[in-house]
Amino acid sequence: MLNVEKIKSDFPIFARTMRDGKRLVYLDSGATSQKPLSVLAAERDFYEKHNAAVHRGAHQLAEEATDLYEGAREKVARFIGAESDEVIFTKNATESLNLLAYSWSNSSINQSNSSENKNPFALKPGDEILISEMEHHANLIPWQELANRTGATLKWFRVTQEGRLNFDPALITEKTKIVALTHQSNVLGTINPISEIAHEVKKYGAIFVVDACQSIPHFAVNVKELGADFIAFSGHKALGPTGVGVLWGRRELLNAMPPFLTGGSMIETVTMERSTYAPVPQRFEAGVPNMAQVIGLGAAIDYLSSVGMSHIAEHEHELTKYALSELQKIPGLAIVGPRDTENRGAVLSFTVEGIHPHDLGQVLDEYGIAVRTGYHCAWPLMRAMNVVATTRASFYLYNNATDVDELVAGITRAQEFFKTLPSGLQR
């Protein structure tokens, strides 16, 4: 098991106190993770010693900056089992998914003006895009908009009341061109059987996109073994800085895609009449990138690798098991999503009878407990689960059983404050 106290010492934010000197109990890593000293130091070191525009300039600073930047790309590639030229840096996972949607929109426009019919990304009326009810808005709205621009039809898998994906292979047909699913739900914690789904998707030659924001930071993921065509995740959920995301794609597909953003750094030749584009990944990294943030992400991956993803996954599994057990002992509390640890991650959403999630979050905040409240950028999922909003606790490598105990105690205090506990249970 992890030495959580030693790990906490690597994160300066845990040295501070919250309201009235209370200890910080950070249970919102599903929104953004905290950053270890090594990540902060990597960003600072870049600005203090190596700051220059990457892939530009013939001077020493530019060479050093480029080496650090491309070194981070190699670290990301090794971490997810990819090749370095298949890794594209973006601003965040939202941008990664929009990059795909707009690239395919451009493909559709270009093909409509051509007599050829060879582009695998071109969509037309009658084609179908398949998603699910449990998607974060970042893996929903880009596909809605792509369908609107191209005339394609958007369809989706339902979610069971237990919080599992109701995977119906019959929804995948010859008309299906794109399937886009989350690996792990940011609300329910449900881990979807991506490899099994990939097998079905490939039967029809559709392109499979996976939102891995809630999986890659928490357990080992090999993108080639997973069977997807494209995978997106954000650095800031994986101990890295904000402002950097990753898009991985199979090389042959990336080579066939038109760019989303155009401008400097992504070109091969430019005349006044036309331009040609650089090979991947530079083709999709127009302009000066978020250099320090990318380098910080490399440091975050170093940190996660040093701890060991298998150890992190085991720790979170046991912590989730304990949290599920303790939370379900609270009268009036209902877990929204799977109530056991089978194929689920360390994200727990719940409601408490008689207390609005926002009110519960405010009470917990008074005790130094940071949770997320609301609909978690997943309105359709909230409707599917018959809730308006939930309180969400999300765990990471720096959490332990004491944090769970503090959460349970905080919820009980909130019930006492709002007088929602049965009279016999009031203190």
- Which are the catalytic amino acids? 377
CA gap 219, 345 in Å, rounded: 9
Note whether 24 and 12 are within 8 A (CB).
no
Helix%, strand%, coil% for the chain, nearest 5 = 45, 20, 40
> SS in 3 state form for 125-189?
CCCEEEEECCCCHHHCHHHHHHHHHHCCEEEEEEECCCCCEECCHHHCCCCEEEEEEECECCCCC
Distance (Å, whole) CA 209 – CA 101: 11
Helix/strand/coil for 381: helix
For residue 62, count other CB atoms closer than 10 A to its CB.
Answer: 17
CA gap 210, 197 in Å, rounded: 11
User: Residue 245 in contact with residue 254, Cβ under 8 Å?
Assistant: no
Q: Distance between CA atoms of 12 and 31, rounded to whole angstroms?
A: 19
* C-alpha–C-alpha distance, residues 205 and 246, integer Å: 24
Please provide the DSSP assignment of 82-106 as one string.
Answer: --GGGEEEESSHHHHHHHHHHHHHH
The CA angle 51-247-372, to the nearest 5 degrees, is 90
Reading phi first (left if > 0) and then psi (alpha if -120 to 50, else beta), residue 15 is in alpha
